[in-house]
């Protein structure tokens, strides 16, 4: 296609959008609203998934040592743990450090420790975290068999509930986004079809005077892409403002919640919304034109 011809098609598309102002406004509004809803739900699902991953990353096993072990025996357990797969971090907590942390957790009730008469019943322990938290159960069973280990605890009931919850969030999130994406595609493509339907007589006249199919298609195709792009841009701006507001509110009121940072996440979301808008605009125009191209 020659550049001059392409410019002509773009000019015709812009003229058409200007002539059919109300239909253009309705189409852009529908595209923007549909993509805004998709963007908001996608943002929510991504943040829920991030929260689930954050919870999983905090899963750990406390491995309590038997009393009376030598330093070498304790170090040997550490070597065994380092050799295990998917271990992210290993921390050794000796008896004194365990008592210090216990007192800190008691807060104003540290006087209860006085009843121990200086004795320290707390065992030394290794605390390990994982690259793949789903390995926690198998690892706990394995380390519990070490002869130097008294017991291994990881809050089995709580952890299994966390895993179930994160699985529901991920599967449900993917299903929700897929459903909304399909609904968005359907709504936008039908909106574009209405735009083409309103100009069916114009298409018929062009066919009668000898215009080729592609000569007719290109202005409509470009118009559909422009409608999708403008709607996508408006939706992106609205989602940006919405997420920026939510981020500020969470930072002020619920600072412990780990929200996904604006960047680079928003770069990807913007590209998706704009891309979906342009793609659906083009597809909607192409499909809608087919029934009017046969005269």
> For position 114, what pLDDT does the model report?
64
In the chain, where the domains are located: 3-55+162-290, 60-153
pTM: 0.74
pLDDT tens digit sequence for 269-283? 999 999 988 988 888
State the pLDDT confidence band at 200, using cuts at 50, 70 and 90: confident
> For position 254, what pLDDT does the model report?
77
pLDDT tens digit sequence for 105-132? 777 776 666 666 668 788 999 999 988 8
State the pLDDT confidence band at 72, using cuts at 50, 70 and 90: very high
Instruction: Write out the chain in H/E/C secondary structure.
Output: CCHHHHHHHHHHHHHHHHHCHHHHHHHHHHHHHHHHHHHHHHHHHHHHHHHHHHHHHCCEEEEEECCCCCHHHHHHHHHHHHCCCCEEEEEEECHHHHHHHHHHHHHHHHHHHHHHCCCCCCCCEEEEEECCHHHHHHHHHHHCCCCCEEEEECCHHHHHHHHHHHHHHHHHHHHHHHHHHHHHHHHHHHHHHHHHHCCHHHHHHHHHCCCCHHHHHHHHHHHHHHHHHHHHHHHHHHHHHHHHHHHHHHHHHCCCCCCCCHHHHHHHHHHHHHHHHHHHHHHHHHHHHHCCCCC
> For position 1, what pLDDT does the model report?
65
pLDDT at 252 over 70: yes
Q: Assign a CATH topology to domain 60-153.
A: Alpha-Beta Plaits (3.30.70)
> For position 231, what pLDDT does the model report?
92
> For position 210, what pLDDT does the model report?
82
pLDDT tens digit sequence for 173-185? 788 878 877 777 7
């Amino acid at each position: 296609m020659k550049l001059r011809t392409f410019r002509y098609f773009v000019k015709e598309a812009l003229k058409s959008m200007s002539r059919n102002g109300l239909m253009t406004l309705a189409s852009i509004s529908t595209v923007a609203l549909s993509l805004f809803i998709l963007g908001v739900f996608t943002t929510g699902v991504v943040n829920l998934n991030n929260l689930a991953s954050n919870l999983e990353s905090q899963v750990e096993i406390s491995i309590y040592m038997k009393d009376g072990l030598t330093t070498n025996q304790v170090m040997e357990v550490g070597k065994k743990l380092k050799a295990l797969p998917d271990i992210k971090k290993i921390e050794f907590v000796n008896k004194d450090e365990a008592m210090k942390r216990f007192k800190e957790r008691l807060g104003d009730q540290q006087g209860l420790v006085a009843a121990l008469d200086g004795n320290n019943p707390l065992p030394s322990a290794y605390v390990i975290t994982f690259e793949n938290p789903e390995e926690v159960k198998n690892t706990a069973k394995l380390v519990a068999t070490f002869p130097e280990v008294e017991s291994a605890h990881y809050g089995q009931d709580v952890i299994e509930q966390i895993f179930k919850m994160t699985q529901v969030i991920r599967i449900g999130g993917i299903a929700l986004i897929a459903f909304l994406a399909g609904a968005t595609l359907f709504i936008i493509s039908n909106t574009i079809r209405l735009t083409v339907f309103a100009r069916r007589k114009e298409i018929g006249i062009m066919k009668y005077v000898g215009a080729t199919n592609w000569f007719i298609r290109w202005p409509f195709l470009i118009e559909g892409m422009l409608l999708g792009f403008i709607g996508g841009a408006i939706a992106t701006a609205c989602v940006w403002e919405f997420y920026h507001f939510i981020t500020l509110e969470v930072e002020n009121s619920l600072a412990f919640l780990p929200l996904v940072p604006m960047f680079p996440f928003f770069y990807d979301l913007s590209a998706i919304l704009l891309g979906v808008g342009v793609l659906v605009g083009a597809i909607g125009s192409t499909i809608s034109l087919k029934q009017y191209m046969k005269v």
